[in-house]
Structure 1
Amino acid sequence: MIKRIHHPLLVYLSDVIGVALAWWGAYLIRFNFSIPAEFIPGFQLGLIVVIALQGGLLRAFGLYRSLWLFASLPDLLCIARAVVVAAVLTPLVVVVAVRYAPEVPRLVYLLQPMLLAIYMGGSRALYRTWKEFRLYGGLRAQGQPVLVLGGGEAAVNLVRDLSRSAEWRVVGVLDDTPGHRGREIHGCEVLGGIAELDWLAEEMKVGHAIIAMPSEGHEKRRVAASACVRAGVKALILPGIEDVMTGRVNLSQVRQVDVEDLLGRDPVRIHTAEVREYLRGKAVMVTGAGGSIGSELCRQIARFEPSVLVCFELNEFALYRLTEEFAVHFPTVQVVAIAGDVKDSIRVDEIIGRFRPHVIFHAAAYKHVPLMEDDNAWQAVRNNVLGTWQVARSAVAFGVPRFVLVSTDKAVNPTNVMGATKRLAERVCQALALQGKTQFEIVRFGNVLGSAGSVIPKFAEQIAAGGPVTVTHPEITRYFMSIREAAQLVLQAGSMGHGGEIFVLDMGKPVRIADLAQDMIRLSGHSESDIRIVFSGLRPGEKLYEELLADSELTLPTHHPKLRIARAEPATDGWLDVLLAWLRQRRAVGAAEVRRELRHWVPEYAPSPAAPQLKAVDATAQRA
């Protein structure tokens, strides 16, 4: 059996033949394809020299370690370097070797390396083209038609990958870059801008689009995702560059567009040195550690290597899930799971006294507006206000250096019990900031994507069940941010305060909930004729829109672009003892009394009148 010749050896032999052909071709061009007899000896001796010399140089430059199938720009650059060195050395050696023979024409020395470079680069390009056609050429006419949105490097790589896929067939590229229209990317024409997706998808009968803009800002990706949703095109997306740290973006990283692509913002860049300074090697405590914000705070804190992370949580199952997660993902972090109620002063004092945390993040709260409005109003007061006081008082008593209260935009000009209790909790912290060395900071933000009780999981369940999707009011708007972004900014705010500040997070632009419902229906592959949107009327205590600052407050900038400081009304002396007497009474308090008392303690609280409970209105029928 004849042993198969190793592939790099075949490539090397091809290049040596190319050296000879280039030398011969240079002579033919110099003498109009008729070499005079007196120049033949010089040609022959020079041929022997260039084969030996340039053949050795090509080996020395390591041209045969890469595969021809993947020949690319780095390989061409390596060829160019080898040819340039050969072009310099060859005349020197040939002049010495053939000094007794006729002179070699100077034009030959110039033409030969040029022809050699053309041969070597061209042979590799032809081989790669032929090989890719053999492997993938038959796939180009197969698969579902798809448009690629974007014209950068990621889009170029993606179009190339898709050309090798039997599942997809790229019919065009959309890119907003001026001057790109009409150009081609791996044989696919740039048909126009992203704004033209609607009519192009309909004209070309395309049901899918892939957004390939990982290095662009989120706003551009959001616009592209919205264009896909509005056009009724099923959208896929390459993750943002902040999520793709592995270098080259390829087809395997494409995922479906989700709600965060439509609502999220550019990634937050926190000043890690500042955060690390007050967390690394310190004991840190998080109340409400099993909740959406509390658990994400724990994950973010774990990155900064605290000496111990105390997770305080009332819900046993949530606490169990958190410890199981940390055992897998953060095995080196010492986590102490504490089951307890923030209203239990004995338990709170025991834990804070034992671990002496350097900072406490107080995220435990009742947050659901309609649930806390009537039958549970007194429990909202006790949990959100008395619970905050118990933890904050204990922090002051044990000299905890920092205390960060996680608050909400609903504390601004509140119209519901939940918002009023959170504003009162803020005032409690502001009052306690005057009584000890503990540094109190308060952080407000709006709705968090995917959090427990969020409208988004509710819409997803309603869509999965076939509808209808219930929206309280056609004009209701809300601010949204990701859980990760909220947690990071809470940590950042904790490093910046000097005591008593209310930090307001940049929540971006408010979102119409009706538009969100429409987008989620379309993302699921349905239309509003398949799944109806029904307007059910505002719920008790619910606003049409949320605010981030009270009318009487002013904001000051900070050195972080997404954090501002709100200067609220200063706390007055003497009122806290009276408040505590009301909070500690051992009787059930009705919702009407709760509202009356909250109006006294929170002057800006204006309970909304009972919302008229409209009959469910079909949005489709209403538009008709």
Structure 2
Amino acid sequence: MTRFKARRLSFAAFVFDLCAVAIVWLLAYVIRFNGPVPADFWHGALRALGWVLLIYAGMFRGYGLYRGMWVFASLPDLMRIAKAVAVGALVVVICSVLFQPVPVIPRSVLILSPMLLFLTMGGSRAMYRAAKEFYLYGGLVAQGKPVLVLGAGTAGANLVRELKRSGEWRLAGLLDDDPVKQGREIYGHRVLGPISDLHTVAEELKVEHVIIAVPSASVEAHRRIATLCVRAGVRAMVLPALTSLTQGQGFMSRVRQIDLEDLLGRDPVTVDTAHVERLLKNRVVMVTGAGGSIGSELCRQILRFGPVQLIAFDVSEFSIYRLNEELRDKFPEVAFVPVIGDVKDSLLLDQVLGRHCPHIVFHAAAYKHVPLMEEINSWQAIRNNVLGTYRVARAAIRHDVAHFVLISTDKAVNPTNVMGASKRLAEMVCSTLQQSSPRTQFETVRFGNVLGSAGSVIPKFQEQIARGGPVTVTHPEITRFFMTIPEASQLVLQASSMGQGGEIFILDMGQPVRIADLAQDLIRLYGFTEEQIKVVFTGLRPGEKLYEELLADDETTTRTPHAKLRIAKAREVPDNLIDDLLPWLMQHRVPSDDEVRRDLRRWVPEYQPTVTPTLQSVASLRTGNAL
């Protein structure tokens, strides 16, 4: 039924165009004679009309004028009409010269008739589309929510066209930083000024929603615009970098809400696929801590490179269960081996590595929550992070694993807490083992906080906002480095493919972010004001410091072929480190927190424990009397 209706409409359009040919042909004679046409010329016009209609009918069909729909008539349709009319007019001229009809066809008719025909056919389609759009959308436009489009380029212009047909939105105008575009109009809508005027324009026009339409702009420009939107108190959506759209897919279907990653403005990671593929393809790969945030994302990224087998090792049964369910469904072709176990269990490690013989081990298992590991659990942090690393590394050496990659942290640099000191000690253990185990390459990858990881500040803020606040921040001046979980995992794989043994790779974390600003932006991002959800400062927690570092003071870095990776030259490690360290790690008692901190300074000279804030200092911070 639908196909029959389409054919019927196509035939109707064809008949309309032939009627237009006849009308403009006769009208051209009337114009030529400025009124009544002499009888012999009139009869000549009617006789010629027969073969003129046949010529144009063939051209209309030949140029595919009826493949499109009038309601979507656009420039390509107009170009097809122009070609059909022009070629048809040329053929008519040639035929009039060859046939020499009597009386002769006036030259003005041969010129005027195709011009009138083009105007009639093109104008009728434009009028039909305008009338149809007004009928479908015209009554709804005034009822939509007002919205501003940021960006008056090609993407912005396409959005304007779609918004004109939207019943949900009413376009209030555009903003663009290009002075040439300011004051101009796009499809009847004015470019009101630069994007920096967003706050003023939004208040004047009572606009609460904006769409960021600068998909080709730099990451820094995106971050600046997203921050302007959040701080102007508007709900922002963004049109991401454009890929090829499927047929019929509109630009509005690609628009999404801005998120925290837009505010942080991280550059996309480019991975040297060939290098990583050579390391992982058709290999057996093992990941410890595979159920955690970084470990699970490492597993997802690794599986993209076609390993023959992936061993996921974690102490958490539930985490491994969830990962097992996800990855078996997404990558059924890869043998996935879920192992529940403790990284300090040498017998289990030997059994797993002896049975599966991995080519590379990514050691992501760690206790990493700073305050929890600072008091009560400090010895467990040392045992898990240092002894666990040692035992996994020794098992890797015994079973001829080619690569061992330690996932470290920026808190290992000039550590002020037990967790950071334990990770620095784990780095030192790997450096010592590298000196005595040339067959296994040890690499360390050091980076800062990742967005959305377990125990990180972002999920905590989101939960607090969902409860109605307040949002708690430890200190007004505290800053941290941030990157996304996929970004960190991809760079870990890139670094592991570049290592020669013994390196400490440092990921480019970008610029540090003030946590107080992050909290306030997140509150606005969720549509609240600072009056509705307040930010409360609670004081630094045990082991925390205001600023994180990626390099120790006497460490230097060298460049790598990858722009986001550098190699640190770390401090020398004593040759007898492990011989002295193991008796302390394996003592048959649980030292107190103070003993752990005291002994850590022996192994990690740069470790300087912070003083736990007093209740008085916390109270003063809450009342705004402290820093």
* TM-score tier (shorter): over 0.9
Aligned-pair CA distance for 1:602 = 1.9
What letter corresponds to residue 141 of structure 1 in structure 2? A
8 A Cα contact 1:504 1:566, kept in partner:
yes
One-letter amino acid of the structure 2 residue matched with residue 464 of structure 1: A
TM-superposed CA distance for 1:152, in Å, is 2.9
- Structure 1 residues 192 and 382 mapped into 2: Cα distance closer, same or farther (>3 Å)? same
Contact 2:211 2:236 (C-alpha < 8 Å) held by counterparts = yes
Distance 1:104 1:555 in 2: 86
Q: Using the alignment, how far apart are the partners of 2:251 and 2:373 within structure 1?
A: 48
- Tell me if structure 1 keeps the 8 A contact 2:539–2:621: no
User: Greater CA deviation, 542-551 or 233-242?
Assistant: 233-242
Q: Which residue number corresponds to residue 613 of structure 2?
A: 611
1:493 aligns with 2:495: yes
Aligned mates of 1:320, 1:428 — CA distance in 2: 31
Q: CA deviation at 1:618?
A: 7.5
Whether the 8 Å contact between 1:533 and 1:620 is mirrored in structure 2 is no
Residue-pair matches, total: 619
2:469 is the alignment partner of 1:467: yes
Give 1:510 deviation, angstroms.
Answer: 0.9
User: Is the 1:538–1:611 Cα contact (8 Å) retained in structure 2?
Assistant: yes
Once the two structures are aligned, what percentage of the paired residues are identical?
59
1:530-569 paired onto structure 2 within 5 Å: 530-569=532-571
The answer to which of 25-34 and 338-347 deviates more is 25-34
Distance 2:625 2:49 in 1: 87
Q: Is 1:49 equivalent to 2:51 in the alignment? A: yes
Instruction: Check the 8 A contact 1:349/1:394 in 2, yes or no.
Output: yes
What is the CA-CA distance between 1:81 and the residue it aligns to? 3.3
Q: CA deviation at 1:191?
A: 1.1
Q: Are the equivalent residues in 1 in contact too, given 2:432–2:577 (CA < 8 A)?
A: no
Say whether the 8 Å CA contact 1:479–1:510 is kept in structure 2: yes
Q: Is the 8 A contact 2:44 2:101 kept in 1?
A: no
- Check the 8 A contact 2:222/2:265 in 1, yes or no: no
Correspondence for 1:332: 333
Q: Does the aligned pair in 1 maintain the 2:151–2:176 contact within 8 Å?
A: yes
* Residues 245 and 440 (structure 1), Cα distance of their counterparts in 2 relative to 1, 3 Å cut: farther
Corresponding residue of 1:258: 259
Change (3 A) 1:114 1:488: farther
Alpha-carbon separation, structure 2, partners of 1:90 and 1:457: 74
- Mean Cα displacement is larger for which, 29-38 or 262-271? 29-38
Deviation at 1:213, TM superposition (A): 2.8
Shift of 1:389: 1.2
Unaligned runs of 5+ in 1: none
Partner of 2:320: 319
1:617 CA displacement: 5.7
2:460 to 458, 463, 474: 458
Letter in 2 for 1:615: V
In structure 2, relative to structure 1, the CA distance for the partners of 1:113 and 1:545 (3 Å cut) is farther
Report the counterpart of residue 368 of structure 1 in structure 2.
369
**Preserved contact between residue 264 and residue 482 of structure 1 (Cα < 8 Å):** no
Q: CA deviation at 1:514?
A: 0.6
Equivalent residues of 1:41, 1:101 under 8 A apart: no
Deviation of 1:406 after TM superposition, in Å, equals: 1.1
Q: Is the 8 A contact 1:405 1:441 kept in 2?
A: yes
**Which consecutive unaligned segments of at least 5 residues does structure 2 have?**
none
Partners of 1:504 and 1:541 in 2: CA distance: 23
1:354-378: per-residue Cα shift (whole Å, max 9, x none)?
A: 1111211111111111111121111
Instruction: Indicate conservation of the 8 Å contact 1:478/1:546, yes or no.
Output: yes
Alignment partner, residue 65 of structure 1: 67
CA distance in 2, matches of 1:620, 1:157: 51
Asked whether 1:521 is paired with 2:530, we answer: no
- Taking a change above 3 Å as real, the CA distance of residues 83 and 490 of structure 1, as seen in their structure-2 partners, is farther
Which whole-Å CA distance do the structure 1 matches of 2:572 and 2:292 have between them? 31
Residue 528 of structure 2 aligns to a residue whose secondary structure is: coil
1:506 is aligned to: 508
Map of 1:18 onto structure 2: 20
Q: Could you tell me how far 1:344 is from its partner in structure 2?
A: 0.6
Contact map agreement 1:370 1:542 (CA 8 A) in 2: yes
Check the 8 A contact 2:17/2:121 in 1, yes or no. yes
Partner of 1:7: 9
Structure 1 residues 245 and 403, CA, compared in 2 at 3 Å: closer, same or farther? Answer: farther
User: Do the aligned residues in 1 keep the contact of 2:346 with 2:391 (CA within 8 Å)?
Assistant: yes
CA gap 1:493/1:246 in 2 versus in 1, 3 angstroms: farther
Counterpart CA distance in 2 for 1:187 and 1:620 is: 53
Note the alpha carbon deviations across 1:452-488, whole angstroms, 9 max, x for none.
1111111111112222111111100111111111111
Counterpart for residue 79 of structure 1: 81
Question: Structure 1 pair 594/26, CA: closer, same or farther in 2 (3 Å)?
Answer: farther
Q: Which residue of 1 aligns with 2:593?
A: 591
Q: Deviations 1:420-450 (Å, cap 9, x if unpaired)?
A: 1111111222222221311222111111111
Q: Are the aligned partners of 1:172 and 1:189 in contact in 2 as well (CA < 8 Å)?
A: yes
Q: Is the 8 A contact 1:42 1:102 kept in 2?
A: yes
Query: How far did 1:498 drift?
Result: 1.3
Look up the match of 1:410. Answer: 411
Contact 1:49 1:93 in 2 (8 A): no
TM-score in terms of structure 2 length: 0.93
Match of 1:217 in 2: 218
